[in-house]
Amino acid sequence: MTTVTNTTNTTNTTGTTATPSATGLNADFTMFLKLLTTQMQNQDPLSPMDTSQYTQQLVQYSQVEQSMQQNTTLKDILSSLGTQNLTQASSLIGHAVEADSPIAGLTDKLPAQWTWNTPRDASTIVATITDANGKTVDTRTVNVSGTTGNLAWDGATTSGKQMAAGKYSISIKALDSSGTELSNTSVHAIGTVSDVQLDNGAVLVTVNGNKYDSSVLTRIGETVN
């Protein structure tokens, strides 16, 4: 009695443990039955398909099913990668950064800030600032020296008007000491990262209230106290 009972338990335990290959075969067989049932239900009994056509459609359905499964797996992988990227980007919070964009954010507490670069020494720059609708809100001339510098704007225009918080873009016309315009002048927005988030797989960083795709960041500086 004892020997028989032990043998039965051993057999049951072994039977309920599926090997990886058995699991795969069961899944394939289940999918085949599902496809077969679907095809039989949709087939016109008055005009049945021949064997080769029937087999060909089963293969096509099988490929579609496998493609759907692969897409689900791919989405899971991309979601995981996005989460990892977000975790890594969180280390940017509190750091000064430079973005390859002329658009900077102006907040009630922080000015819009840009950095400019010229191919040779400039003595004057004419900065034109526009709002999110493309309307010019301020134009100012600044005396400078060298090939690079920063410009901060607190929203106060030369006419004495205070602009509201929001996104503002700048274009710069640089002149050398002889008054010749310097071509290939570049301008980038700068500021401090206050937040990072994941949006449809893209990591967005908030700098002075404006959101940028992390891919446009060109420089990461030290932590701002």
Residue with tokens 């969180």: 90
What average pLDDT does the segment 108-136 reach? 96
Rounded to the nearest 5°, which phi and psi values hold at 165? -60, 145
Which domain covers residue 211, as residue numbers?
A: 93-223
Residue 175 lies in a domain: yes
Which 3 state secondary structure label does DSSP give 209?
A: coil
Name the pTM for this structure: 0.62
CB 114 within 8 A of CB 100: no
In the predicted structure, residue 133 carries a pLDDT above the cut 80:
yes
Cα 120 from Cα 182, distance rounded (Å)? 8
- 152 and 68 part of one domain: no
Report the length, in residues, of the chain: 225
Residue 149 CA to residue 175 CA, distance in Å, equals 14
Q: HEC states along 157-175?
A: CCCCCECCCEEEEEEEEEE
Residue 12 domain-assigned (yes or no): no
Domain count, the chain: 2
Indicate which CATH number applies to the domain containing 100: 2.60.40.4070
Residues 34 and 131 in one domain: no
Instruction: For residue 161, give the amino acid letter.
Output: K
Q: What is the pLDDT of residue 77?
A: 46
Question: Rounded CA gap, 59 and 54, in Å?
Answer: 9
Q: In the chain, pLDDT over 90 holds for what percent of residues? A: 51
Lowest mean pLDDT: which of 26-30, 90-94, 119-123? Answer: 26-30
Are 67 and 36 in the same domain? Answer: yes
Q: Alpha-carbon distance 130 to 139, whole Å? A: 9
Within-domain flag for 151:
yes
Lowest-confidence region among 60-69, 147-156, 160-169, 179-188: 60-69
